[in-house]
Amino acid sequence: MTRTLLVAALFLGGCGTTLTVVSDPSEPPVVAICKTPAERAARPAPMVAGTPVGRIPTTAPPGFPAGTIGRSVNGEPIVATDFGSGPARVYLIGLIHGSETPGLEALPALQPTLAHEADAWGATVRVVANMNPDGHARKRRGNARGVDLNRNWPASNFRPSRSWGREPASEPEVAAVLADMRSFRPDVLIVFHSISRGGPFVNFDGPHPAPRLAAAFADAARAAGGGDWTVVPDMGYPTPGSLGTWAGIDSGIPTLTIEFESRHPHDAAARATIAGVRGVLRAMDGPDTVRAEERSP
C-alpha cells in the first residue's frame, strides 16, 4: 500500500511541482506542498483490519489504495479508498442512511477530481463510499437489523434502544468506521445525507473551522450550479448518538453533514459535490485549522 501511495504521489507531481488543475480552468494553478520529515512521519496509518481489494468497485481510478475496513451485518464489504498523501486529512462518507443516495451517486464524478487534485491541495482524502451496504440494498434508512447507523456512535448523549443499538458501536458498520477513523485521525469529516424538506444545506458540528468549512462547501456548491445551498447550524431536533456528536462535539473533529435534497438532480448533485469538496480543501488552509497531530489525543 505504501508503495502504491508513493507511486501515485510521484505520478501526480513531486514536491515543488506546479500542477495546473486542468479540470476547472477557473481555479488558479496550485503547488504541491513540500512536506517536512515530521509531516511525512505523521502520514495517516494504514487502514485497520485491511484486506486490500485493489480498488473500489466500478468508480475509483486504478492505482489508488483501497481496502476492506470491515463488513456489514450481512457480510458485505465496507471499502475505503485513499486519494493523495498530503498532510491535511479528510474523511468522507458517501452514504450512512441506506435510503439517502444522492451523495453516493455523485461519487463517481468526484473521485477522478480527487485523483487529480488531492495532492495538489496537500490532502489525503479517504473515501468510504458506502458504510451501509445492507440498508442501501434494501432502500432502508437503517442497517439489516433496522438500527440507525447515525445513532449508534459512542457519543456522550448515546441512548440505547432497539432502533439505535443496545450499546455504542454495537453495529459492525459503525465499529468498522469508528476503528478506521481512530486510525486515520481526520482533520475534517464530511458525511453525505439527503433530506425531504429544507435541503440542500450543510449542517456542522465541532470546533472552528467547522462553520467556515460549512460555508465554503455551501458557497462553492451554489456557485457551481449545484443547487441553492445554505448553511444550517442546528438540525432543529435532538440527534443522540450521532456521528456529528461523537466526532464533532465530543472528539473535536470539525464535521460537515451534507444534506442533499431527496431527489437532487444527479448533475447538480455531482457539481455540488465536486465544487463543495474543492471548496473545503481550499478553505482548510485557513489560520484556524487545527491538525489532528496538534490536538490532544
CA-based nearest residue to 67, from 87, 47, 86, 83: 47
Which of 185/193 has CB closer to Zn ion?
193
- CA contacts within 13 A on the Cβ side of 141: 10
Residues 118-147 within binding reach of Zn ion (CB under 5 A): none
Contacts of 237 (CB under 8 A, 6+ apart): none
Distances 96 to 49, 67, 128 between C-alpha atoms, Å? 20, 18, 10
Contact of 211 with 248, CB cutoff 8 Å: no
Parallel, antiparallel or unpaired: strands 88-93 and 188-195: parallel
CB of 182 to Zn ion, least distance (A): 23
CB of 270 to Zn ion, least distance (A): 19
Cell reading at 251: 472528539
Which of 2/163 has CB closer to Zn ion?
163
CB of 287 to Zn ion, least distance (A): 32
- CA contacts within 13 A on the Cβ side of 271: 17
Q: x/- string (CB under 5 A) for Zn ion, residues 61-100?
A: ------------------------------------x--x
CB of 257 to Zn ion, least distance (A): 8
Cell reading at 49: 483490519
Give the Cα separation of 107 and 111 in Å (integer): 6
Which of 136/193 has CB closer to Zn ion?
193
- Residues in the interface with Zn ion (CB under 5 A) total 3
CB of 116 to Zn ion, least distance (A): 29
CB of 117 to Zn ion, least distance (A): 27
CB of 193 to Zn ion, least distance (A): 3
* 236: number of Cβ within 10 Å: 8
Residues 228-287 within binding reach of Zn ion (CB under 5 A): none
Which of 89/193 has CB closer to Zn ion?
193
Indicate the DSSP class of residue 144: T
CA-based nearest residue to 246, from 198, 175, 196: 175
Which of 113/194 has CB closer to Zn ion?
194
Contacts of 295 (CB under 8 A, 6+ apart): 252
Which residue number has the CB closest to Zn ion? 193
Give the Cα separation of 177 and 80 in Å (integer): 9
Which of 100/261 has CB closer to Zn ion?
100
Which of 120/149 has CB closer to Zn ion?
149
CB of 274 to Zn ion, least distance (A): 21
Cell reading at 18: 506546479
Q: x/- string (CB under 5 A) for Zn ion, residues 166-205?
A: ---------------------------x------------
CA-based nearest residue to 80, from 122, 131, 133: 131
Which of 95/115 has CB closer to Zn ion?
95
Q: Which residues bind Zn ion (CB under 5 A)?
A: 97, 100, 193
